[in-house]
Amino acid sequence: LNMVLPSKMGDIAKAYFMQDRGHLTGSMALSLVVFEKTCDMLSLLLWCVFGLLLYPQKDWLFWVMTLSVTGGLLLGLAILSFPKFARSVFALAQGIAPKKMKAKLGKMSYAWQEMHDYFWRDQQNLLKIGFTSIFIWFLHLLQIWFFILALNAYAPFLANLALSPLAILAGLLPLTFAGVGTRDAALILFYQPYFDAATGAALGVLCTSRYFLPAIGGLPFLEQYLSFAKRGKQN
């Protein structure tokens, strides 16, 4: 699903299986998936902020991106850390959402509070989840740096910590399937000081393979997923 839906929205499908097999309510399952995606995004933003602060060649565009990414990181941390702030965000979303979505957002706000209480009850486990997510993203960014070296090119690793997250964030914009095109253009643009456009395009192909190969691995289970989805509609 992530290969055909923008912004990796295919991950939302996990909420259905959590509801079906984990005996959770739909709103709670969706809240857990959103919590996972939020932690995942915050870990990426953390590395991006770290890299941008140390990136030497900052013009006005990079300063704008640094402030924007830092603001997004602080906003996400506030939503995860402060229940009152999260409730105000849900209330704001309910105020501008269509009528059909208001009831669902209300249920999700309640489930988010329940999920927040559950995770913050065991702060040691929450720290393990957070550090694991940060480390996994470090490995992702290290892999992209190895891609650059495999193409007989070079970019400083600290610069890669700033530039590759920006390209990944560009690929998450809901403009193309799986970010193909937007992520490639961002890689070519951001890595201009270090290698040419052809190398940037090749790097984009390698980065796309990080999404394409797992999708191929999931094809044998597609029939089972469709049967589950069909059964859910019948029920």
Query: What's the pLDDT at 177?
Result: 61
List pLDDT tens digits, range 29-70.
777 777 788 888 899 999 999 998 888 877 888 888 889 999
Query: What's the pLDDT at 47?
Result: 93
Query: What's the pLDDT at 17?
Result: 63
Record the pTM.
0.79
Cα separation, 18 vs 27, whole angstroms: 11
End-to-end distance of the chain based on CA atoms, in angstroms? 23
Query: What's the pLDDT at 18?
Result: 64
User: In the chain, which stretches have pLDDT less than 50?
Assistant: 7
Query: What's the pLDDT at 32?
Result: 76
Cα separation, 205 vs 138, whole angstroms: 20
Cα separation, 181 vs 159, whole angstroms: 22
Query: What's the pLDDT at 123?
Result: 80
**DSSP calls for 162-211:** HHHHHHHHHHTSTTSGGGTTHHHHHHHHHTTTTS-HHHHHHHHHHHHHHH
Other Cβ atoms within 10 Å of 76 Cβ, number: 16
Pick from 214, 47, 208, 55: nearest CA to 141: 47
Per-domain residue ranges of the chain: 6-234
Query: What's the pLDDT at 149?
Result: 96
